[in-house]
Amino acid sequence: MAFTREFIRKTAKESGVELPKEFEDALVQEHLSARDAYATGQVKTALEENKQDPAPAVKDTQEYKDLKKEFEDYKAEQAKKESRTAKETAYRALLKAAGVSEKRMDTILRCSDVDGVELNEKGEIADAKDRLKSIKDEWADFIETVEVRGAVTPDPPANISGPKTTVEEIDKIKDTEARQNAMAQNLELFGIK
């Protein structure tokens, strides 16, 4: 049975003693103080017996150093890829401005030093004018030249299709202006050349 006020009253009654309320309060208070002191002592003892080693500093472990190096390498690789893509895009625009055939751009990009290109703050090639001249000189065979010419016709084709309409059809046209136009287009019907 737990040490409670009820236990104190019951035990006192069985002994034939009447305890005042203040005495009962003092017993309970003393019991609680003793119990708390005992529990605190037990916890301290348990903590001292089961003392854990301090956790190692994460930054000092080899695993952390290796992981950090991998991450830094990954970031550098990604930055290099982004830089390469930006330079390649700018170089492609320069090749297009030079008039290089779309089919040949990949070939030229593989042969050119795209990584050596310097970009300005706008993302364009810094020495674009010099490179453009160099591209036109070095890759002249890949630059398309487009010349637009009309179709060659030595003589106009002869009208050998015959009359387009008949005399009866022309006679049926009521409008005089339309009839005269039809007659002018079909002079051969009327024996006029």
Burial 96-130 (b: 16+ CB within 10 A, else e): eebebeeeebeebeeebebeebeeeeeeebeebee
The model carries a pTM of 0.44
pLDDT at 157 over 70: no
Cα separation of 22 and 156, whole Å? 136
Query: According to the model, what pLDDT value does residue 76 have?
Result: 95
- Residues paired with residue 119 on neighbouring β-strands, in sequence order: 125
Question: In 60-175, where does DSSP find H-type helix?
Answer: 62-98, 102-111, 128-138, 167-172
Query: According to the model, what pLDDT value does residue 24 have?
Result: 87
Domain ranges of the chain: 5-49, 82-142
Mean pLDDT value of segment 27-48: 90
pLDDT at 160 over 80: no
Mean pLDDT value of segment 103-112: 85
Mean pLDDT value of segment 92-116: 85
Query: According to the model, what pLDDT value does residue 111 have?
Result: 85
Query: According to the model, what pLDDT value does residue 13 have?
Result: 87
Mean pLDDT taken over the chain = 83
Q: How confident is the model at residue 38 (pLDDT cuts 50, 70, 90)?
A: very high
Query: According to the model, what pLDDT value does residue 74 have?
Result: 96
Please say whether the beta carbons of 181 and 160 come within 8 A.
Answer: no
What is the phi/psi pair of residue 100, to 5°?
A: -70, 140
